[in-house]
Amino acid sequence: MTYSPLPPLTDSPEWDALREQAEHLRPRHMRDLFAEDPDRYPRYTLEAAGLLLDYSKNRITDSSLAALMALARSRRLEERIGALFKGERVNTTENRPALHAALRTPESEAVTVEGQDVVPEVHHTLRRMETFVGQIHSGQWRGMNGHPFTDVVSIGIGGSFLGPQMVSEALRPYWHDQLRCHFVANIDGSDISDTLRHLDPETTLFLVQSKSFRTQETLANARAAREWFVENGGSQEQVSRHFVAVTSQQDEAERFGIARDNVFPMWDWVGGRYSLWSAIGLPIALAVGMDNFRSLLAGAHAMDEHFRTAPLERNIPVIMGLLGLWYSHFFDAHSHAVLPYDHFLKSLPAHLQQLDMESNGKQVRINGTPVDYPTGPVIWGGAGANGQHAYHQLLHQGTRLVPVDFIMPLHSHNPLGDHHRLLFANCLSQSQALMRGKIDEEAFEEMRAEGMPEEKARELAPHKAIPGNKPSNTLLLDRVDPKGLGALIALYEHKVFVQGALWDIDSFDQWGVELGKQLGKTIEKRLEADGGQGEPREDSSTTGLIQLFRERGQG
């Protein structure tokens, strides 16, 4: 990328203007902002790619939004968005483009990387996936002894697991009748053992998913799967019928014993956490069929188009990215909660955790100098309404400000009785409660109306009071279908990109995870029965724990 350094973030007229805006807004309550402006909802609502964002329950006004937009322009955000889509090397430390958007680009369009259009090979791979999925579904490709497959076990970790697992789960109502999908990620032997315990090797297909084909957890689980297969009646020749790989390292997959024809490609220009749109999405395609997988891509593409072309002021990922920065810098927010009010979206927070925290958990700018401001927040969350009976207490009365994204479909796949109306009411009541709160006096009056003696009511009122003024976004989609889900995930990918661009960090590398892997190799050796020979090289804590494992643990 022709990267020209950005000026310091916090030393600029745009930053000073934002600081002033924040000072002005800090003492103001959102209750009053709503009371003063009956059009707040329509004014702070946007629709694109089948999603609706209501961002009216945020601590913002037109002038603070204008100041945020001015900051975005001073960070040359539009130029950075253009560079992303043009396939420039936005991943500067690895000197690569980040072209996940190309994976969902229609065949009629081109995305050129160093003079070469990558769209044809993307669609060639999609067609290969289509053929493969068709063969498995129709029973044309069968397991040993001629039985059709009933179970698929996807083995992978990080981006080669979280995205496919979350999407497959989210699209549960679209699953093929005869095929069940399972995911194994953890190096903990219980993960794979527990999965295989219930499966029949004759009818089980394994997908080994690893961009690098070097990841310890994935290789160990893939070897365990192969051993289980062979020990339970499979032969080495039959491995080629039961094992398929997705990787950018075809030779490594072949060395493992997977036939070249069974290897689907990955490309350098796709980051792991952005890879569910590639052949890494094969478990999704097997679970829900290729038409639905293509709809997922279409939904993401619609969001790409919105992000690429909408003016910053009407751009959903840009607005969500700027709001995150606003709270993290000016309201001391350290974390961000994602609360999907949909049972099938319960793993979305885990996927977004990797997407956001692996992308923006960075401490230096693109030019290598340390940042002097906070970068990516801690992302957490879980399915509503379950959280209401757990961590929502902290959201309402805790001392930390946690901005929230509520995600809610208008239609349920299981419209049981009045469940969906109740769920919707729960979602809205949470965002309303966070926004408006309940002052002491209201709490007091309520208790008095219930007949509580005045003294007791006075005593309890501060405990029952809820400050409110807690910000949230509400994202609505028609239903959790492939298209809407594709748009939703792409929205978050772009939000993360926006924030990385504002902070001037490389959102596409992940060097921080390497040290643990490096040290792990040495420690693993030292845990072996004779690994403690010679002088201990570690700190006393690590040595002590190694020793303890060797004496009392199971090596």
Catalytic residue list: 358, 389, 517
Binding status of residue 143 toward ligand F6P by CB under 6 A: no
Q: Shortest approach of ligand F6P to residue 211 CB, angstroms? A: 4
Binding status of residue 376 toward ligand F6P by CB under 6 A: no
Binding status of residue 159 toward ligand F6P by CB under 6 A: yes
Q: How many residues bind ligand F6P (CB under 6 A)?
A: 14
Q: Which helix (H) or strand (E) holds 146?
A: none
Q: Write out the binding residues for ligand F6P, residues 269-308 only, by CB under 6 A.
A: 272-273
**3-state DSSP call for residue 322?**
helix
Cα distances (Å, whole numbers) of residue 350 to 3, 124, 161, 274, 356: 32, 31, 11, 14, 10
Position among 215, 278, 360, 412 found at the interface with ligand F6P (CB under 6 A): 215
What does DSSP assign to residue 5?
A: P
Rg for the chain, CA atoms, rounded: 26
Which residue(s) pair with 117 in the sheet? 112
Best CA proximity match to 485, nearest among 322, 287, 359, 302: 302
Q: Write out the binding residues for ligand F6P, residues 485-524 only, by CB under 6 A.
A: 510, 513
Q: Do strands 204-209 and 151-155 pair parallel, antiparallel, or not at all (unpaired)?
A: parallel
What does DSSP assign to residue 96?
A: B
Q: Which is nearer to ligand F6P, 21 or 160 (CB)?
A: 160
361-369 long-range Cβ contacts below 8 angstroms, 24+ apart: 361/512, 362/500, 362/503, 362/505, 362/506, 362/507, 362/512, 364/505, 365/5, 365/6, 365/503, 365/504, 365/505, 366/3, 366/5, 366/92, 366/504, 366/505, 366/506, 367/5, 367/504
Best CA proximity match to 350, nearest among 380, 391, 386: 380
Q: Shortest approach of ligand F6P to residue 248 CB, angstroms? A: 8
Q: Which is nearer to ligand F6P, 302 or 350 (CB)?
A: 350
Distance between CA 542 and CA 396 in Å, rounded?
40
Q: Which is nearer to ligand F6P, 157 or 395 (CB)?
A: 157
Q: Which is nearer to ligand F6P, 246 or 461 (CB)?
A: 246
Distance between CA 49 and CA 488 in Å, rounded?
9
Distance between CA 42 and CA 209 in Å, rounded?
44
Binding status of residue 210 toward ligand F6P by CB under 6 A: yes
Position among 60, 98, 103, 157 found at the interface with ligand F6P (CB under 6 A): 157
Q: Write out the binding residues for ligand F6P, residues 17-46 only, by CB under 6 A.
A: none
Q: Which is nearer to ligand F6P, 109 or 514 (CB)?
A: 514
Binding status of residue 340 toward ligand F6P by CB under 6 A: no
Binding status of residue 221 toward ligand F6P by CB under 6 A: no
Binding status of residue 158 toward ligand F6P by CB under 6 A: yes
Q: Which is nearer to ligand F6P, 272 or 403 (CB)?
A: 272
Q: Shortest approach of ligand F6P to residue 513 CB, angstroms? A: 4
Only one of the segments 137-145, 204-212, 306-314, 477-485 lies at the binding site for ligand F6P (rule: CB under 6 A); that segment is 204-212
Distance between CA 333 and CA 58 in Å, rounded?
13
Work out the widest C-alpha separation in the chain, in whole angstroms. Answer: 82
Position among 218, 221, 430, 499 found at the interface with ligand F6P (CB under 6 A): 218
Q: Which is nearer to ligand F6P, 247 or 412 (CB)?
A: 247
Only one of the segments 212-220, 446-454, 492-500, 533-541 lies at the binding site for ligand F6P (rule: CB under 6 A); that segment is 212-220
The H-assigned helical ranges of 384-506 are: 392-397, 419-436, 440-449, 454-464, 482-503
Q: Residue with CB nearest ligand F6P? A: 272
Which residues sit at the interface with ligand F6P, rule CB under 6 A?
A: 157-160, 210-212, 215, 218, 272-273, 358, 510, 513
